[in-house]
Amino acid sequence: MKINLIISGLTALVFMTSCKSLQSIASKDTSSSTKQNTVRPDRRDLKFMDNIEVTPGSVVTSKHTTINTRSPKKTAPVAQQQEISKTAPSTELSKANIEQADYLQLKYAVKLDATVEKLNNIPLLQAIDHWWGTPYHLGGTTESGIDCSAFTQTIMQTVYSVPLLRTAQEQYKNADPIELENLQEGDLIFFHTGGRRSREISHVGIYVLNNKFVHASTSSGVTISDLNDSYWKQHFKAAGRPKK
């Protein structure tokens, strides 16, 4: 009985001692429940750098200088700007000319059975297009009617600055003879379309390329024909290069 009382007393003593220890530890561990004080610098201590400017595309390399990573826009002098403004209409005109040239190249590439790249003589294409379909008229020299030699005379003068005499026969006599395989753009093609008794040249055209020539025909007016056509092959007389 005495032993049991002693054991009970000792147990109670140990329990009381452990509670006091836990309370002591709990009272000391306040780190998680308190906020850490943050020291804020006094604004009066803040200092700013002078003479710094940063623009889009710039990189700061020091406290006073920057490197611009974008190319600066060059401003033309006032006099030069005035010149540019004066020439603006001509620029638009050039664009219109380019569009017209592209159109003519496509149009006549089909008629000449050739690639667009081969049609580099735009003034020739413009001249052909200007006269295209003009009716044939013997002795005529205008857009109302023109004959074959007047047409070749006009084209050779306006496009190549080469003067020709008025009639097909005269143009034939004043041209250097060449073979068909040596034909070049701007050479003349001569035909004998009259009766057997007449030996004079009665028709003339201008060679373009790919066996094609442009001329003022009696049936279709100003048009393009093929040297391989049976009619023109039958009446072909000679080819010549105008003397400059």
- Over the stretch 67-121, which tens digit does the pLDDT of each residue have? 444 444 444 444 444 443 433 434 344 666 778 888 999 999 999 999 999 999 9
pLDDT for the residue 4: 57
pLDDT for the residue 230: 96
Higher confidence at residue 118 or residue 21? 118
Q: Would residue 215 show up in a list of annotated catalytic residues for this protein?
A: yes
Catalytic pick from 19, 64, 130, 148?
148
Q: Which of 124, 243, 241 is nearest to 180 (CA)?
A: 241
Mean pLDDT of 147-155: 98
SS3 24: helix
Q: Would residue 203 show up in a list of annotated catalytic residues for this protein?
A: yes
Q: What are phi and psi of 63, to 5 degrees?
A: -80, -15
What pTM was estimated for this model as a whole?
0.61
Catalytic pick from 64, 137, 192, 203?
203
Catalytic pick from 19, 137, 192, 215?
215
pLDDT for the residue 98: 76
pLDDT for the residue 196: 62
> How does the average pLDDT of the chain come out, rounded?
76
Q: Would residue 192 show up in a list of annotated catalytic residues for this protein?
A: no
Residue 161 has pLDDT above 90, yes or no: yes
Mean pLDDT of 128-150: 97
Structural domains of the chain sorted by starting position, each given as residue range(s) with its CATH number in brackets: 133-242 (3.90.1720.10)
Contact 52, 61 (CB under 8 A): no
Angle, CA of 229, 148 and 211, to the nearest 5°: 30
Mean pLDDT of 178-202: 89
d(CA 176, CA 226): 22
